[in-house]
Amino acid sequence: MAKSIQDKPTIAERLQTASTQTVDNLQGSQFWNSVFRPGSVFRKGYTDSPRNRSYVIMNSVLYHLHPVKVKRHAVKVSYTLCLGGLSFFIFILLTVTGIFLMFFYRPTAAAAWDDIQSLQTAVTFGLLVRNMHRWAAHLMVLSVFLHMARVFYHGAYKAPREFNWVIGVILLKLTLLLSFTGYLLPWDQLALWAVTVGTNMMGFTPVLGDQVKFVLLGGAVIGTDTLLRWYVLHVLMLPFVIVIFMAIHFWRVRKDGGISGPL
Ligand code: HEM
Judge contact between 137 and 115, C-beta under 8 A: no
Whether the ω angle into residue 239 lies within 30 degrees of 0, i.e. cis, is no
Q: Is the pLDDT of residue 263 over 80?
A: no
How many angstroms does the Cα of residue 53 sit away from the middle of ligand 1? 27
Segment 60-78 shows an average pLDDT of: 78
Q: Model confidence over 211-233: pLDDT tens digits?
A: 999 999 999 999 999 999 999 99
Single out the residue of 211, 217, 175, 210 nearest to residue 192, CA to CA: 217
Q: Is the pLDDT of residue 248 over 60?
A: yes
Segment 118-147 shows an average pLDDT of: 98
Nearest-angstrom CA–CA distance, 106 and 185 = 9
Nearest-angstrom CA–CA distance, 196 and 184 = 10
Q: Which residue type, as a one-letter code, is found at position 250?
A: F
Q: Which residue among 73, 91, 147, 240 is best mutated to probe the pocket of ligand 1, counting the most ligand atoms within 8 A of its Cβ?
A: 147
Taking the domains of the chain in order of start, what are their residue ranges? 76-255
Q: Which residues line the pocket of ligand 1, CB cutoff 6 A? A: 80, 82-85, 87-88, 144, 147-148, 151, 156-157, 161, 164-165, 168-169, 171-172, 175, 246, 249, 253, 259-261
Q: Is the model's pTM score more than 0.75?
A: yes
How many angstroms does the Cα of residue 241 sit away from the middle of ligand 1? 16
Q: Model confidence over 21-50: pLDDT tens digits?
A: 999 999 999 999 998 887 888 888 888 998
Q: Is the pLDDT of residue 1 over 50?
A: no
Burial 202-233 (b: 16+ CB within 10 A, else e): ebeeeeeeeebbeebbbeeebebebbebbbeb
Q: Considering only CA atoms, which residue is closest to atom 28 of ligand 1?
A: 168
Q: Is the pLDDT of residue 74 over 60?
A: yes
Is 1.10.4190.10 the CATH classification of the domain at 76-255? no
Counting Cα atoms < 13 Å in the Cβ hemisphere of 1 gives: 4
Burial of 261 (0-12, 13-18, 19+ CB in 10 A): buried
Q: Model confidence over 81-130: pLDDT tens digits?
A: 999 999 999 999 999 999 999 999 999 999 999 999 999 999 999 999 99
Residue 5 pLDDT: 61
Residue 43 pLDDT: 87
